[in-house]
Amino acid sequence: MADNTGVSKALDAIFFDIDDTLFSTTVFADKARRAAIDAMMRAGLQADRNEAMRELEEVIAEFSSNYGSHFDKVLDRLGPESHHGHNRAVIVAAGVVAYHATKWRELKVYDDVYEVLQWLGHTPLVRGIISAGITIKQAEKLVRLEVLEFLTPSAIFFTDQVGFSKPNPKLYRRVLQRLKLAPERCIYVGDNPTHDIDPCNREGWTTVRIRRSGRHSNEQGQTAPSYEIRDFFELRNLLREDFGLQ
């Protein structure tokens, strides 16, 4: 809230994480993976659906979400009998197509996120992204989420391009250096307490943790965020009340 003098805090820029901040990565990923397994079964996969899902989840956990051959590895684990009489490449392709079709259909920001980003687009703030992950995948998400028009083009940063990844504080320092911004006049909004909140707190940023859902919603960091919100409407309220945005 605003201090006792009623003077608003100075603010030049606001940055956002992407995954489980602008949209529910957790829900989206679950839908896409289930759609992929269903499509593989229609294409000839001979296995129990629940077992196939468990193997896919284990492959992702062991090899990371950025591994390029998830569905091939699932077939390896299920054994040759799982695709007997079928070309395994067709089964894998069915999974890939279904996964990406779900991406086209399901990938969108929360309604409140779109409305508040649209509102922020009319403010003088620098509006940026600091996101960890493979550059082309994170860039594709921004394009598909249809929020680029509300962001400052020069303020979009992906860790692969910057050379530092979360939670390395050098990532956040480098962003501010490039844009000639002071940390005490910047906000970072993210869902991960150890990768988003802790390093920004230590660098002197104002931090906003969104705790709507997702894999990090029950985790605790070493430091407390400046603010905690459940949705972007609460973000808009605090920006109006504490930072004087209209």
Q: Render pLDDT for 13-29 as a digit per residue (tens, 0 to 9).
A: 999 999 999 998 888 88
Which carries the bigger pLDDT value, residue 103 or residue 70? 70
Cβ burial of 143 (10 Å; 0-12, 13-18, 19+) is exposed
User: Which helix (DSSP H) or strand (DSSP E) does residue 126 occupy?
Assistant: strand 126-131
- Please give the average per-residue pLDDT across 40-59, as a whole number: 97
pLDDT bracket for residue 7 (50, 70, 90): low
Look at residue 153 and tell me whether its pLDDT is greater than 90: yes
For the chain, percent of residues with pLDDT exceeding 70: 97
Is the pLDDT reported for residue 113 higher than 70?
yes
Domain 27-106 has CATH 3.40.309.10: no
Mean pLDDT confidence for 35-63: 97
Tell me which of 63 and 1 has the higher pLDDT: 63
Between the alpha carbon of residue 87 and those of residues 37, 73, 81, 95, 126, the distances in Å are 16, 15, 12, 13, 51
Over the stretch 53-85, which tens digit does the pLDDT of each residue have?
Answer: 999 999 999 998 878 899 999 999 999 999 999
User: What pLDDT does 6 receive?
Assistant: 55
Q: Is the pLDDT of residue 242 over 90?
A: yes
Q: Angle at the Cα of 107 (from 58 to 37), degrees rounded to 5?
A: 35
pLDDT above 60 (res 5): no
Distance CA 71, CA 164 (A): 30
Average pLDDT of the chain is 93
Which span out of 35-39, 97-101, 212-216 was modeled with the highest average pLDDT? 35-39
When the candidates are 3.40.228.10, 3.30.1280.10, 3.40.50.1000, 3.10.180.10, the CATH number that belongs to 13-23+108-243 is 3.40.50.1000
Residue 180 has pLDDT above 90, yes or no: yes
The pTM of the full predicted model, rounded to 2 decimals, is: 0.83
Please report, as a single letter, which amino acid is at residue 190: G
Q: How far apart are CA 158 and CA 136, in angstroms?
A: 9
From residue 88, how far is each of 46, 76, 93, 108 by CA, in Å? 11, 10, 9, 32
The contacts of residue 140 (CB under 8 Å, 6+ apart) are none
pLDDT tens by residue, 154-170: 999 999 999 999 999 99
Q: What is the structure's pLDDT at 233?
A: 98
Question: What number is the average pLDDT over the span 89-114?
Answer: 92
Handedness of CA 140, 114, 12, 213 (dihedral sign): negative
Report the C-alpha gap between 164 and 160 in whole angstroms.
Answer: 7
- Per DSSP, the three-state class of 208 is strand
Asked whether the predicted pLDDT for residue 4 surpasses 70, the reply is no
Domain 13-23+108-243 shares a fold with domain 27-106: no
Confidence of residue 196 (pLDDT cuts 50, 70, 90): very high
**Beta strand pairing call for 126-131 and 13-16:** parallel
| pLDDT at site 72 | 96
Surface-to-core class of residue 6, CB atoms within 10 Å of its CB (0-12 exposed, 13-18 middle, 19+ buried): exposed
Per-domain residue ranges of the chain: 13-23+108-243, 27-106
d(CA 106, CA 29): 10
pLDDT of residue 1: 38
14 torsion bin: left (phi>0), alpha (psi -120 to 50), beta (else): beta
pLDDT at residue 202 greater than cutoff 80: yes
Q: Is the pLDDT of residue 244 over 80?
A: yes
Question: In this structure, what token pair is assigned to residue 106?
Answer: 């399901």
- Type of residue at 154: S
Torsion angle (degrees, nearest 10) of CA 144, 146, 148, 150: -160
